[in-house]
Structure 1
Amino acid sequence: MQTRNIVATLLSGSSSIFSRAESTEPPKAVRSTSAGFNRISFKKLVFIGLIVGGQLPLAQAQATNSTLTLNAALKRTLEQNPSLKVFDFRNTALTGQLETANLKPAYELGLEAENFAGSDELSGFDGAELTISLSSVLELGDKRAARRGIVSNSRSVLDAQRQVESLELLGEVTRRYVDVLAAQEQVSLAKEASELSNQTLNIVKERAKAGATPDAEVKRAQAAASQAQLTLLSTQQQLAYLKVSLAALWGETSPKFAAIDGDLFHFGTDVNFDRLYTKMKNNPAIKVFAAEERLKEAEVRLARTQSKADINWSVGVRRFQENDDTALVAGFSMPLFSSKRNSGAVSTALAQRNEVFVQKEVSLLNMHTQLFRAYHNRKQAILAARELQNSIIPALEEALKEIQAAYQRGRYGYLEYVSARQELLSAKRTLIESASSALMYGAEIEQLTAEPLSTSQYVW
């Protein structure tokens, strides 16, 4: 059964959020005790094209006070992280700029006095000429529309930048969520290592009582058990730190959850790289360049409008004090050679537009390299995790059982027994690291392609 995507509702779109499904399957040795995950269906996200992290399906059941789902973490981050709030202020600033761009040239009221306070007949104000005039500028070349175009395209750039920021923020939530999930598995593994160490200690003590092993081996086993306990405490501290780091994304200094839900070992088949690269071209980061290209085109149009000179006009009334007569006055003026004088500004605007074209190509090349690296590293991590799960760890578990039994019968020494135990724990630790890497690279791919990975990624 599928669950409604509350984060997508917040963004007026749909996304690759996860929903948790209850599972009655017993926990495996290195799996978390939390329920397994089933991925929900999703549409293409309207607002940001993606919410990254589709490789960690969340539970359908609502998160409790002590358990956090990725769905809840993403929602809290979008609602409370301050990094997105700056875009509201920038949008308000653009609204003010649009109001200014829509303004027509201002009218000016002028008062002019001539032929006063002179000598002889022009002394005082008897021969003065007083003029009251109204003047303004008649804009040519559709300059006002060009100014509006600048603001409109600036808003498009802002929207694209917000999408990129949202994508990066949600990607960071997913990465920290995976870190916590992996840390939970590390704690579980540390507990298992501590239990194995204690089990080994008990076996060594029994053999020592029977006189089959020296007391030195008991002391070595005691030291190993103490070291395993210290490792457990260390991993628990690391988990606590990672929880704080995750909660900081929505402004909490003290996490209000005890654990997170997730299946660290859930993978699927690979998606064709060429398909991923095609999707990558729709990444909001590329859309920023497209929006900037339109903005630069608008700036070029505005620069070209300056090549057409505006007409300054004035009209008024002049009074002659000498004979109390009045007359109308009018005039206009315009600068000469405006097109030639403005050629430098047009060249600058064209160069800046062309620079955006080059930056877009460079960005695509860099993103292609990043996608290629993430794609193949994820493929390698999944291969390693599956090999560890299906072949290496089962073989080491069987070997440990046999060596433990043989050690109790005196057929193997303490060193062989401890080495077998450490090999198993090392393999399980490598499994956790490989699984975590696979999920991290998957989240990176989704962030680069601005789309969730194919549903087939989650079918075994």
Structure 2
Amino acid sequence: MLSKNCRLPRTAAGGAAITFAATLAILAPGSALAEPVTLADALARTAASSPTLAAAEADVAVALGRARQAGFRPNPELDLSVENFSGTGALSGLNEAESTLSVGQRFELGGKRPARERAAQAEVDAARLRLAVARADLQQQVRDAYAEAWADSRRVELARDQFVRADNLQAVATELVDAGREPPLRALRARTAALEAVGRVRAAEAEYAQAQRALAALWGGSENLPEPIAPDTPSVSAAVIDPARALDVRLAEAEVATSIAVVDRERTLSRPDVTVSVGARQFRGTDDSALVFGASMPLGLFDRNQGNIAAANAERTGAEARRNAALAGAIRRTRDAQAALRTAEAQLAFLENQAEPEAIEAVRIAREGFSAGRFTLLDVLDAEEALNTVQAAMITAEMERAQAVAALTRASETEGSAR
């Protein structure tokens, strides 16, 4: 947060001051189309309307449907066959026809159905974790975008303060030139600095509008641009973050479990099933009937599902490698975020407690000395530039701290906390 003392008192302006009506118009507060939005509001809106989450939720529904389907047994088959009719001689017509009506049932052997159910349930677990990962990623994007939009709104405020100070300095320089205490070039230089401040305001406002649109795009946009409200000081849980429990690692482990279940399923498919049928046959020539029984089983001479088994084993190897990579990535991201948070907090503490107060005091001394003729305009401009740099760095440090907290929050997410 910028210090309340950063706005220096304004001295009386001379007749040549650059207070044009068009210039002052840019200092008006935010747009009438802005809509105040808290971070909680942004998170809720995104969760309710994000197409990314909708797609992930649909994937869970797909996996649930396939898991339900995996539990069904094969359907029985009804077979009707008519033989020995429409031939020649005694077999002409239907007098000697034989009709057979039978019901066949395929029996899955080798544990096919349980293996199929285990693989399908593993896919459901993985799909749910993918949804949790998508939700956690989206929440981090919202937090990052919100922090950036808030920082850009602060940069607009800073640019406007800089314009006020530059306009004030231009007025003082004009008074000194009119009094013969400064050459005319000094007033021109001060006027140029004020115009440069105008350009910075416009550039900051354009960047802020872009950040607002980027934030609104996360929940599908709206007619009014979101205006971030000053967030509370971000914080993270004091509990130790275990990268092994990170969502990405848990998802990778679920994919390993899925690949193992798929290998088992494919192996069961190499074992043949038995189809049994029973029925009744009618002989029209004698009006007799008899039972018919049959059994069949494929011979595994060529297709023993070798290719699918090999592919499933390769996928298992790849899933195990991805799990190891996910763990290494989780450790690195957690440590990077912790280091970024420590750096941002140290930088912000230095800027707030030492750099900004000293820069404000330097500007005050330079302005008073310039008004008294002890310092030149360049001395004041240098002091102003140093203050501008410090205050811009404070905004950046605040944003980096918020984004580091967002990264640590993402690293500590579990399936339950990401809902």
Under TM normalisation by the shorter chain, which class is it?
A: 0.7 to 0.9
After superposition, give the CA deviation of every residue in 1:3-62 in whole Å (9 maximum; x if it has no partner): xxxxxxxxxxxxxxxxxxxxxx9963569xxxxxxxxxxxxxxxxxxxxxxxxxxxxxxx
After superposition, give the CA deviation of every residue in 1:185-219 in whole Å (9 maximum; x if it has no partner): 11121122111101211211221122100112112
Partners in 1 of 2:234 and 2:96 — Cα distance? 97
Structure 2 partner of 1:378: 341
Partners in 2 of 1:229 and 1:216 — Cα distance? 20
Distance 1:70 1:29, change over 3 A: farther
TM-score scaled to structure 1, two decimals? 0.77
Do 2:35 and 2:224's aligned partners in 1 also have CA atoms closer than 8 Å? no
- Aligned-pair distance for 1:271? 7.1
The amino acid that maps onto 2:263 is V
Structure 1 partner of 2:23: none
Partners in 2 of 1:240 and 1:174 — Cα distance? 17
% identical aligned pairs: 27
The amino acid that maps onto 2:339 is H
Partners in 1 of 2:258 and 2:235 — Cα distance? 42
1:205 aligns with 2:174: yes
- Aligned-pair distance for 1:157? 1.1
Do 1:67 and 1:261's aligned partners in 2 also have CA atoms closer than 8 Å? no
1:121 aligns with 2:90: yes
Which portions of structure 1, spanning 4 or more consecutive aligned residues, are displaced by more than 6 angstroms?
A: 267-272
Do 2:79 and 2:102's aligned partners in 1 also have CA atoms closer than 8 Å? yes
Aligned counterpart for 1:76 among listed residues 45, 49, 71: 45
Distance 1:271 1:133, change over 3 A: closer
Distance 1:399 1:95, change over 3 A: closer
Structure 1 partner of 2:398: 435
Aligned counterpart for 1:421 among listed residues 374, 378, 384: 384
Structure 2 partner of 1:237: 206
Structure 2 partner of 1:363: 326
Partners in 2 of 1:433 and 1:99 — Cα distance? 52
- Aligned-pair distance for 1:228? 0.7
Structure 2 partner of 1:188: 157
Structure 1 partner of 2:257: 294
Q: Which moved more, 1:181-190 or 1:387-396?
A: 387-396
After superposition, give the CA deviation of every residue in 1:89-135 in whole Å (9 maximum; x if it has no partner): 33333343234323221122212223333333333333332222111
Q: Report how many residues are paired.
A: 388
Distance 1:267 1:102, change over 3 A: closer
Structure 2 partner of 1:389: 352
**Mapping of 1:283-362 within 5 angstroms?**
283-337=246-300, 341-362=304-325
Partners in 2 of 1:202 and 1:405 — Cα distance? 14
Q: Which moved more, 1:89-98 or 1:353-362?
A: 89-98
**Mapping of 1:223-234 within 5 angstroms?**
223-234=192-203
Distance 1:164 1:138, change over 3 A: same
Do 2:159 and 2:200's aligned partners in 1 also have CA atoms closer than 8 Å? yes
Do 1:280 and 1:450's aligned partners in 2 also have CA atoms closer than 8 Å? no
1:253 aligns with 2:222: yes
Structure 1 partner of 2:100: 131
SS in 1 for 2:271: coil
Do 2:212 and 2:225's aligned partners in 1 also have CA atoms closer than 8 Å? no
Consecutive unaligned residues of structure 2, counting only runs of 5 or more, are 8-33, 415-419
Distance 1:225 1:75, change over 3 A: same
After superposition, give the CA deviation of every residue in 1:211-233 in whole Å (9 maximum; x if it has no partner): 10011211211121122122112
Partners in 2 of 1:389 and 1:343 — Cα distance? 68
The amino acid that maps onto 1:123 is S
- Aligned-pair distance for 1:164? 0.5
Q: Which moved more, 1:113-122 or 1:230-239?
A: 113-122
- Aligned-pair distance for 1:259? 4.4
Partners in 2 of 1:229 and 1:325 — Cα distance? 107
Partners in 2 of 1:383 and 1:135 — Cα distance? 77
The amino acid that maps onto 1:439 is A
SS in 1 for 2:40: helix
After superposition, give the CA deviation of every residue in 1:343-372 in whole Å (9 maximum; x if it has no partner): 543343233223211111012223333333
Consecutive unaligned residues of structure 1, counting only runs of 5 or more, are 1-24, 32-64, 452-460
The amino acid that maps onto 1:357 is E
Partners in 2 of 1:312 and 1:190 — Cα distance? 81
Tell which structure's C-alpha radius of gyration is larger: 2
The amino acid that maps onto 1:184 is S
Aligned counterpart for 2:120 among listed residues 130, 151, 159: 151
Distance 1:29 1:303, change over 3 A: farther
Structure 2 partner of 1:92: 61
Structure 2 partner of 1:219: 188
1:408 aligns with 2:408: no
Do 1:289 and 1:356's aligned partners in 2 also have CA atoms closer than 8 Å? yes
Q: Which moved more, 1:148-157 or 1:375-384?
A: 375-384
Partners in 1 of 2:340 and 2:5 — Cα distance? 26
Partners in 2 of 1:75 and 1:356 — Cα distance? 34
The amino acid that maps onto 1:161 is R
The amino acid that maps onto 1:113 is V
The amino acid that maps onto 2:202 is L
Partners in 2 of 1:154 and 1:218 — Cα distance? 73
Partners in 2 of 1:245 and 1:141 — Cα distance? 55
Do 1:247 and 1:254's aligned partners in 2 also have CA atoms closer than 8 Å? no
Partners in 1 of 2:281 and 2:4 — Cα distance? 99
Q: Which moved more, 1:298-307 or 1:226-235?
A: 298-307
Structure 2 partner of 1:161: 130
